Amino acid sequence: MALVLTPYHRELMFKFDARTSRGAMQTHQAHFLRLNDTLKPAVCGWGEASPLPGLSPEFTPDYKEQIQRICAEFNALQLQRHQQEEWECFWRNYQSWPSLQFAWETALVDMMRGGKRSLYPSAFSSGQKGIRINGLIWMGDLAFMREQIEKKLAQGFTCIKLKIGGLDFTQELKILKEIRSVAGPEALELRLDANGAFSVQDAEEKLRHLAKFHIHSLEQPIKAGQLEAMQTLCGVSPIPIALDEELIGVTGKEAKWKLLDKIRPAYIIIKPTLVGGLISSRDWIQVAESLGIDWWLTSALESNIGLNAIAQFAADSGNPLPQGLGTGQLYHNNLNSPLEIRGEELWYNPQETWELPN
């Protein structure tokens, strides 16, 4: 009798071209791990490993085949539920695969908690309380972006996040001006995400222009890996800077502390799929809080399996800031789940059932 990992796959279809400064996506390949103990085969834990091309260090065109190989290697070990040291030894070989770590941890916690997709019991997971989220505005032409903004405002969002860096900068300033003509900073919090689109040379000037619109924060203004430039920018920026891609590939608490202590951003954005799962995310939170840096959690285009895990982790963390968890409605063929958006909050409705991969 042993633990068994089974891989599943689904190509998720976007409802529109999901565009960032790195380009547009029409589909996203999701990979899932089902974990069960042959002593209790009906109790299954589910996790999601859906790396992002161009961002996730482990992404390769043959990722699906790699997942299948890893599951076969794990199953060949015939590990028992109580053999924690052996599990950890196996998964240490894949520390540079952050999405896989996230999937394993999620599936394990889910199975240990009875295989009911209730990973962290809370008022959220019991359907008694929602999580406030930001409304996400995708890049596109002016009409498309206006339509999204109007829809989010009508839904009652008081915090929206705009992806910028893909249009002409003067057009993006025009959009921000229009937003502020409808909703001032006291009514609407504006977060921006540049996905590293600004050059080191023009970033400071662009930040001065953007600051006129009372921006809450700007995520990753320049490409990751330029530590000196990012440190300088955080020191002079009129807008609080948030790190996102900068966190990818940084492992171990000491390395995380050194990065944040050097750059001293106002915020960090934690995406478990990209930073190595729930344990690694908890480390980022602890390091950030020790340095007086605020944070929030964000999903990274996962299906509802991954989104649910991040949402329950967020609820357990008790962070009062709006979280980036509004991606569940992006796909035509997402897995049906108890997750619902009500106004500007994400809720878990225990009366609804899960559609699981097959």
Catalytic machinery residues: 163, 271
Q: Using an 8 Å Cβ cutoff, are 58 and 177 in contact?
A: no
- Answer whether 307's CB lies under 8 Å from 278's CB: no
Contact between residue 297 and residue 284 where contact means Cβ atoms under 8 Å apart: no
Which two three-digit tokens encode residue 147? 């339509």
First-residue to last-residue Cα distance in the chain: 23
Residues in the chain: 358
Could you identify the residue written with the tokens 């285009």?
301
**SS3 state of residue 326:** coil
- For residues 47 and 111, what is the distance between their CA atoms, to the nearest angstrom? 10
Torsion (CA) 178, 182, 185, 189 in degrees, nearest 10: -80
Q: Is 30 helix (H, G, I), strand (E, B) or coil?
A: strand
Contact at 8 Å (CB) between 133 and 325? Answer: yes
- The answer for residues whose C-beta is within 8 angstroms of residue 79's C-beta and 6 or more apart is 2, 3, 86, 87, 90
Give the dihedral sign, CA 329/335/336/340: negative
